[in-house]
Chain A
Amino acid sequence: MTLLEADGITKRFGGLTAVNGFRLAVDAGEIVGLIGPNGAGKTTVFHLLSGFHAPTEGDIRFKGMSVVGSKPHQICRRGLARTFQIVQPFVNLTALENVMVGAFNRTDDVAAARDRAAEVLEFVGLGRRRDVPARELTLSDRKRLEMARGLATGPELLLLDEVMSGLNPTEIEAIIALIRRIHAQGVALLIIEHVMRAVMALSQRIVVLHHGETIAEGPPDDVARDPRVIEAYLGSGP
């Protein structure tokens, strides 16, 4: 089943075209990687898919229904969750409370939300930190927390925006394992990443964005060898 369809979406900010005719389909249970040099428009795509921006042109369909014009919380209710490139925890709330906010997406009952949040925290490996205020968590833990919050909303598709940036190799390995566990639960994933080996290892399919346009798409190995992709990365500097 096709979960998400971005159908030729374009986003213009004044004179700047951030995204141009972008097409993407994500099926249930897939892991799709979204890569491209800095400024390629990847996060803008995420903003468009999750309802933070409306596309200037084109349509976005989630589970068959157009979500253009829907507010982010409505899209989340339908089953699409996301993380942010710069982690956005609720700093004055504990880890548990952070995740409870997500859990409330599926229940109105406080006790049920608390139980669900506790479960999800365990799942991402933050069980021992549940009562720690988010402001006291390390970057790596905050990233897990954000993923937990997204998971608690009960998504069918989770958008991860550079969850590995700023992490050391050990932490990266741990996150890769976590992403695999999430996937094993049946959640489809669309991952923006700069850590190449992670994207290559995890993705079943990769889409490459450059200057707001798709320049390549396919299995990781094919994309890695694609001369246009290599040029896009090398040509745009370090």
Chain B
Amino acid sequence: MFLTTQSLTKEFGKLRAVNEVSLEIRQGDIHAIIGPNGAGKSTFFNLITGYHPVTSGKTVFKGKEITHLPAYHRCQLGLTRSFQITSIYPKLTVYESVLMGLLSHRRATFNFFGSARSYYKKEVWGILEDVGLADQADRAGDSLSHGDKKRLELGITLGTEPEVLLLDEPTCGMSPDETESTMTFVKKLVEDRGLTILFTEHDMSVVFGIAKRISVLHQGTLIADGTPDKVRSNEEVRKVYLGESK
């Protein structure tokens, strides 16, 4: 049991955004959470990563219950996320941003006298080359294109050398080409670094091409969970997605 949720529920006043979702994410999988708008995908992510407190239910990671742990602690345990609205450092350079992830993960941040830029040069360049931003290392975060910003965020999260990477709509706003290259890259990450990836997505073609397991949420409830084929042939899923454009 790698990462599981047990009857995870979130209520905002009277609105039940996530309704008793029990899921298992297996180590090494690329696991997609899909569902129409408002299905609760992002909220579910927020519960796992500690962005919102849960109303009820449990989250267990590597045998340890993390349901009420503060967000930063979960990240230290190996769970890192990206945000749907790309969250990067506007004025730090690409290099400095990725460095931040590494400094945090390697617990070097409580050091008062070293020179920050001298740390982890090899690792930072390694990540920069992996995400294809090595030639823009000195550019400020907010001067990048949208697609590059998403790659930057990915690079920053890789700095924390996570075990599970939660990507919230990683291809949001990308062109079909960019989408494809991003997902290929994500697949490579799993192979090269042994990551487990959990991601939310709208675009069905993206999901079915790459996910090993798919969970479908509808109005906060889990309606299907399994291999792509199983999900594709699920009646309720078809009903929910009837009329949804690809």
Partners in one complex: no
Interface residues, chain B, CB within 8 Å of chain A? none
